[in-house]
Structure 1
């Protein structure tokens, strides 16, 4: 009987090679630690990007790490707005490291991915980030941020941004509901469900600040 090669062996090997590069930049031989830090980096950066930008970056990743990247992703809720402090604390919690270690760890992962991805790919990703997050992803400690003044103009801008994002989310849900996809569910049923979900999104936004 002819022995067939494992069809997933190449994917496994590529993922291991990438993880080895990340571990090298982190200065560790603990691959479990390297994986935790890499996963935290991927998920937090992913959630700060738009759907299109996240998909474009994910195309750079090997198959197994692409699965890690998309695990738990909620495309209807991105990009998530958070500041450097929130980023630091969530990164530390997800990677199970100290907040003080986040800049060095995030910077090491960035350096490793920069060596693995196409030239300029991470520059494109970082260009979409606020300066405070960009610095931390490049290994710089986040400077304390003073909260912005709660002016009436700032509040109006926040409300407007939330409304626009809700509208974009609702339209996206409707578009996906109208797509001609091979599925067992009739188009009319999918369309009705999409309309209900879009209505829920808009109503949730309308009542969020009341």
Structure 2
């Protein structure tokens, strides 16, 4: 039975929910809202480090619902960010969670999201993304992607 009465909506909700569930499972979290926020903020941090073209190419491989969240508050004129270190990248994740959960493991979140992406986004796109990233940030991706 359809949730919304619109198959396209139902499909994107189901696909997006699968992504969130996979992040939650990888992190050992039961709180889907927390997992969604981790996915969302990591996608934002990644998006802001990509060129405008590369950010758009990644967006087309996300579930449609997640694409909307991915583009939320985006300022393409500022891409790519000049930040180069892993700590700078991870600070975007930890800063987001600071008021809700100050001791969050930002690196674990980034690694979980990147693992999910390496399984759900085309190999060519992942190669393009990791080819743009500074070495320290690229190290957050699964070993198979970095090889």
Q: TM-score, normalised by structure 1?
A: 0.59
Match of 1:28, SS state, is coil
CA RMSD of aligned residues (A): 2.2
Query: Which of the numbers 98, 101, 119 marks the counterpart of 1:115?
Result: 119
Which residue of the partner structure matches residue 26 of structure 2?
25
Q: TM-score, normalised by structure 2?
A: 0.82
**Structure 1: how far apart are the matches of 2:66 and 2:142?**
22
**Deviating runs (4+, > 6 A) in structure 1?**
none
Query: Which of the numbers 91, 94, 97 marks the counterpart of 1:92?
Result: 94
Deviation, 1:100, is 7.0
**Structure 1: how far apart are the matches of 2:62 and 2:108?**
22
**Structure 2: how far apart are the matches of 1:88 and 1:19?**
19
1:69 aligns with 2:73: no
Q: How many residues align?
A: 136
Structure 1 residue ranges without an equivalent (≥5): 141-210
Query: Which of the numbers 132, 137, 140 marks the counterpart of 2:136?
Result: 132
Correspondence 1:51-66 to 2 at 5 A: 51-66=52-67
Q: 1:76 to 1:91 in 2, by over 3 A?
A: same
Structure 2 residue ranges without an equivalent (≥5): none
Write the deviation string for residues 142-183 of structure 1: whole angstroms up to 9, x where unpaired.
xxxxxxxxxxxxxxxxxxxxxxxxxxxxxxxxxxxxxxxxxx
Q: 1:51 to 1:112 in 2, by over 3 A?
A: same
Match of 1:94, SS state, is helix
Structure with bigger RCO (C-alpha 8 Å, 6+ apart): 2
Correspondence 1:1-210 to 2 at 5 A: 5-7=5-7, 8-84=9-85, 85-96=87-98, 97-98=101-102, 101-135=105-139, 137-138=140-141
**Structure 2: how far apart are the matches of 1:131 and 1:98?**
27
Larger Rg: 1
Deviation, 1:88, is 2.1
Write the deviation string for residues 109-137 of structure 1: whole angstroms up to 9, x where unpaired.
111121122234323211110111112x3
Deviation, 1:98, is 5.0
